[in-house]
Structure 1
Amino acid sequence: MSRRDGALDLLKWLALLTMVLDHLRYVGYSADWLYVPGRLAFPWFCLAMAANLARHGASASPWRYLGWLLLFSSVSEIPYRLFIPVPATLNVLPTLTLGLLVARSWQTHTLEARLLAAGALLLAALFSSRLMFGFFGVLLPLAMLLVFRRPWYFALLPGLVCLAANQWRVLYGAAWLGDAVAIGGLLACLFAPWLGLMLLRQAGGIHPPAMRRWAYALYPAHFLILLTVRQIAA
């Protein structure tokens, strides 16, 4: 992979776009169908994390990456709670933070990395109901890393992990009853890792604006922008 991978930047922008589309459902208009593209956002963010880890290898320090995630996990919680009505979980960044620790331990065989991963898994198990996408959401970056350079059909593994991370009874129950949005959401979860991997492998000639560290601020900012839109439209 090149020093600045255009395909990876494109994946990040598409993950951000699908996240915003998903959250548009809470602005006040009837747009349940946006739930389907919204299921692509989290697995694509996890894949972007796995791609960064795979590109830099075991030699790179994860502390700066971890620090930014921890910082914006805290900064984003208030905007998240202002925008999402009666949130059942924390915002998504704590899940990604724990996922980073688990995925990173696969690359480094130090005692420190293994202890941090064990602690992350313990927290994910104990507080699964408070984490967005739960215990399996924490495992998804590792699942992405494991198949990153393997043939495309290995993407079924993180697809199944992604399905497990979306184990909401309402979703599965609605799909069983034939609801098109629920079925589309499940299919999006299953195939999101494969779609993301294909994009990374085939879109190398595309060079969108580089998404650098300033992009962390887009997460809390988009909640505030959509909250303003909802208040204006009310």
Structure 2
Amino acid sequence: MKNAARAKGLPGSVLKWFAILVMTLDHVGASLLEVFLLNGYGNSPASGMVSDPAFWWKADQILRIMGRSAFPVFCFLLVEGAVHTRSGESYLKRLALFALLSELPFDLALRNQVPWWEHQNVFFTLALGLLVILVFQKNPGREWKGMAALGAAALAAELLHTDYGAAGVLVVGTMYLLRENRPLAAFLSLAILALEARMELWAVPGFLILFLYNGERGRQNRYFFYVFYPAHLLLFWLIGRYLFPWIL
């Protein structure tokens, strides 16, 4: 009966595909439209070449709104992975490695310059969140150590200007600590993100889909997202930097 009930929901693989899709749409707006067509960051050769900027700004707004739903899903899946992984240390090493590998594509796609110290990619945020979870897991009964790690990681995220900053780390911590109370975890996480930026209220669909999770991992390639993240950012930079000026 338990397996049959679970089959009615969505496995983690479907949640991940949802998050990847809306994240990609968000980056179409943040990179191709904002960086290369509208704002001209890094002296983009295609900037200002669109005939109807108002239309593209509206399109960008829609894409960015859709993209708000990605982060809560990734945080939720991070917590699920941390709870069920065989080796939290190996998981952390993978996140840290791809945080470093993704930084150059991230800088190019989101600012058209390197280095761009004002903003670091989301893998850094997730890695800091996972580090906090590992401290909690290794110190049962001494939750103060986990809470101290949560505060330190949130501060580090803010100082390093990682994607979502301190709010992102706090969301991971909240989802982990309240993983047995998903409604409360979702409500508090949304509140944290909304306090950081009002636009994050559009992340509601991303929180709602979490209630459809059936507890199953589903069929998925462990490394697909790790590779896809820097690869799609690099592709967007190549399109914006070299293809847009030719086709516009």
Is the pair's TM-score, using the shorter chain for normalization, greater than 0.5?
A: yes
Query: Does residue 215 of structure 1 match 2:225?
Result: yes
Give the % identical residues: 28
Contact 1:163 1:190 in 2 (8 A): no
Change (3 A) 1:117 1:218: farther
Query: Does residue 101 of structure 1 match 2:101?
Result: no
Contact 1:105 1:114 in 2 (8 A): no
Change (3 A) 1:113 1:92: farther
1:199 is aligned with what amino acid? Answer: L
Q: Which residue of 2 aligns with 1:48?
A: 77
Contact 1:159 1:191 in 2 (8 A): no
Task: Provide the secondary structure at the position in 1 that maps to 2:214.
Answer: helix
Q: RMSD across aligned C-alpha pairs, in angstroms?
A: 3.2
Change (3 A) 1:161 1:37: same
Aligned residues: 208
2:201 equivalent among 168, 173, 187: 187
Query: Does residue 64 of structure 1 match 2:84?
Result: no
Q: Which residue of 2 aligns with 1:146?
A: 177
Deviation of the 1:24 alpha carbon: 0.3
Unaligned runs of 5+ in 1: 173-184
Unaligned runs of 5+ in 2: 4-8, 38-55
Q: Which residue of 2 aligns with 1:27?
A: 32
Distance 2:143 2:184 in 1: 30
Q: Which has the larger radius of gyration?
A: 2
Deviation of the 1:101 alpha carbon: 1.1
TM-score, with structure 2 as normaliser: 0.71
Change (3 A) 1:159 1:80: same
Change (3 A) 1:99 1:154: closer
Change (3 A) 1:187 1:111: closer
Query: Does residue 84 of structure 1 match 2:95?
Result: no
